[in-house]
Chain A
Amino acid sequence: MTDVYILGIESSCDETAAAVVRSGEKVISNVIFSQIAMHQPYGGVVPELASREHLRAILPVVRKALSDAGQTYQSTDAFAVTQGPGLAGSLLVGISYAKALAFALDKPLITVNHLEGHIHAVLLEERQKGNYELRFPLLALVVSGGHTHLYLAEQQGEIWSYENIGRTRDDAAGEAFDKVAKLLGLGYPGGPVIDKLAPHGDATAVKFPPSQIKNVDRRKSAESEQAPGGPRFDFSYSGIKTAVLRYVQTHNLQPSIEARRQALAAIAKPAIEDYLTRCDRQTLDLVASFQRAMVEDLTRKTLAAARAHNVATLFVTGGVAANDELRQRFERDAAMDGVPVYFPSRPLSTDNAAMIAAAAYPKFLARNFAGMDFSAEAGLVLK
């Protein structure tokens, strides 16, 4: 089999990213545009450029991805782009650019669902490590600031298909992490800070009753009619966020939180020690207990779903998959069930374009190419 070089483009939300991946198994280049870095030379105010950040970023990002890979527009075999879900205006920038490339160069264009991309990030890295053995059924937890989904994935020939068997009904898990961090004066987004502070607190100190993170099934009968395929494993993280807020209010933590917020805001790039010295025992215990509750709920529901579907392989992917305690808990508990669990590396956990190029590879082999008539799908469903 000859090598296939696919240029992936991802612009579904905040990030503009481009990458070149060889045959779905090797990251050749992976570029993620940082808006903050790009803003500085302009001093922050360029109104006519402000309307579409992605538009400014896409050209330099794609050029860098190609040059890092030692590739050119001409040497690339196909272009892959995220079609959704995401922000319509942002998606459209990537899509329009990819269409123009494919049209002008007369090369195949492949559309990828962003969530499918996260799943293929794991696959890509396993192949990169030489692990080509993949046993089905495969269950993937895609967990990030915007998504918390459980997908059963199947592969027939080169065609992948997915069935959603769980999702959040209100807030995504990553959103709960970020909002709790802000609530405690740790900045936003603060999911990674919570992860680093949690080991310093007592995770058993604050009890979050399961009722605060249960999935509120308001319409049990209607749901089971809709889902004859089996039970659902839905998530709900709005309640635990509110529970932390109540704890802060009833324990009168507001003054110390405000002091911490101000102290941390005065530090340009706070290190973990800066956070630690400004967190009292009670706050660290709260952070640790919150994270423990989140991790337990995510692992418990995912492993229950894995057992219900006799899953042979488990993927945990998306920004929250970078959380240390979540990784450790999954590794421990999945091992007890005898199910291997795989995570992406940290750079490929968060939004990136390598995962888009990787997910496009089986579609390339299946010659599943897009025409010129598709558009951004803000609410694109993975199936």
Chain B
Amino acid sequence: MPELGLNDGRYTGFATSMATREFTTNSAEETIALGYKIASGLTPPKLVLLRGELGAGKTTLVKGIAEAFHAASQDDVTSPTFTLVHEYRGPDVNIYHIDLYRVDTQRQLETLGLDDLIAGNSILLIEWGEKFQRFERERDIEIAIESLGENQRIIRLKGKSLGGHPLKERQES
């Protein structure tokens, strides 16, 4: 793994139980390394929203998260825009990388059967989930990636709690 080269995450909000942490990365490698770091604080089940414009590096971050859980090698993680859901099974945790970029209606969303994926050992990483209110409401963590140019990215984590502590357990339906 390359050196993290990250500042260690600046806490920018403690107003409520919602905390925001902010990181800066300067290359795809650093974004992948940050994915590892984020993964170390993720215990399933989790619903994570990934926000960021086209080319921000959402898939790149997932490469790090999926590899950290030994669910996939970073080269196996590719964009799910067309295929909608990519499933990476790890020894303990299953990662579902979901892209709702081309999903526009509630009806199309229901066709995906995402509820079937929410299980005790699963982490759902959803791109463009903000298109549906449901995910804004149900998400445990939101990761927003902002592009500051060719290589630099600001990555903000917002969640019910962050760090190594397990977040509130989701009710299985």
Residues of A that sit less than 8 Å from B by CB = 13, 44-45, 47, 50-54, 85-90, 144-146, 167-172, 174-175, 178-179, 183, 188-189, 216, 218-219, 223, 234, 238, 241-242, 245-246, 378-379
Cβ-defined contact, A170 with B83, below 8 A: no
Given the complex of chains A and B, what is the CA–CA distance between A89 and B60 in angstroms?
A: 26
Q: Mask for B79-112, Cβ within 8 A of A = 1, else 0?
A: 1011111111000000000000010001100111
Question: Does B8 sit at the interface, judged by CB under 8 A?
Answer: no
Q: 4 closest Cβ contacts across the A-B interface? A: A242-B55, A146-B82, A145-B82, A89-B113
Tell me the minimal C-beta distance from B115 to chain A in angstroms.
Answer: 10
Cβ-defined contact, B29 with A218, below 8 A: yes
Given the complex of chains A and B, what is the CA–CA distance between A50 and B54 in angstroms?
A: 29
Cβ-defined contact, B116 with A89, below 8 A: yes
With A50-B111, A86-B83 as contacts: A238 and B116 at CB distance below 8 Å: no
Given the complex of chains A and B, what is the CA–CA distance between A223 and B73 in angstroms?
A: 11
Given the complex of chains A and B, what is the CA–CA distance between A9 and B40 in angstroms?
A: 42
Classify the interface of chain B: helix, strand, loop or mixed: mixed
Kindly identify which residue among B78, B116, B150 contacts A172, using a CB–CB cutoff of 8 Å.
Answer: B78
Interface set, chain B 36-88, CB cutoff 8 A to A? 53-55, 59-60, 74-75, 78-79, 81-88
Tell me the minimal C-beta distance from A146 to chain B in angstroms.
Answer: 4
Chain B residues contacting A179 (CB-CB under 8 Å) are: 54, 81
Tell me the minimal C-beta distance from A39 to chain B in angstroms.
Answer: 8
Cβ-defined contact, A85 with B83, below 8 A: yes
Most chain-B Cβ atoms within 10 A of its Cβ — which of A54, A241, A378? A378
Given the complex of chains A and B, what is the CA–CA distance between A315 and B153 in angstroms?
A: 40
With A50-B111, A52-B111 as contacts: A87 and B79 at CB distance below 8 Å: no
Instruction: Name B83's closest neighbour in chain A (CB-CB).
Output: A146
Cβ-defined contact, A216 with B28, below 8 A: yes
Cβ-defined contact, A88 with B81, below 8 A: no
Tell me the minimal C-beta distance from B9 to chain A in angstroms.
Answer: 23
Given the complex of chains A and B, what is the CA–CA distance between A152 and B62 in angstroms?
A: 29
Chain A residues contacting B74 (CB-CB under 8 Å) are: 218-219
The number of inter-chain residue pairs (CB within 8 angstroms) is: 92
Instruction: Name A215's closest neighbour in chain B (CB-CB).
Output: B75
Kindly identify which residue among A53, A88, A238 contacts B55, using a CB–CB cutoff of 8 Å.
Answer: A238
Instruction: Name B28's closest neighbour in chain A (CB-CB).
Output: A216
Given the complex of chains A and B, what is the CA–CA distance between A270 and B28 in angstroms?
A: 39
Cβ-defined contact, B87 with A88, below 8 A: yes
Instruction: Name A49's closest neighbour in chain B (CB-CB).
Output: B107
Given A44-B107, A241-B54, output 17 extra A-B contacts at Cβ < 8 Å: A52-B111, A87-B84, A87-B85, A89-B112, A89-B116, A144-B82, A145-B82, A146-B82, A146-B83, A169-B78, A172-B82, A175-B81, A175-B82, A238-B55, A242-B54, A378-B86, A379-B87
Tell me the minimal C-beta distance from B60 to chain A in angstroms.
Answer: 8
Q: List 20 A-B contacts (CB under 8 A).
A: A13-B82, A47-B110, A51-B113, A89-B111, A89-B113, A146-B83, A169-B75, A171-B59, A171-B81, A175-B81, A175-B82, A178-B82, A179-B81, A218-B28, A218-B29, A218-B75, A219-B75, A234-B75, A238-B60, A245-B54
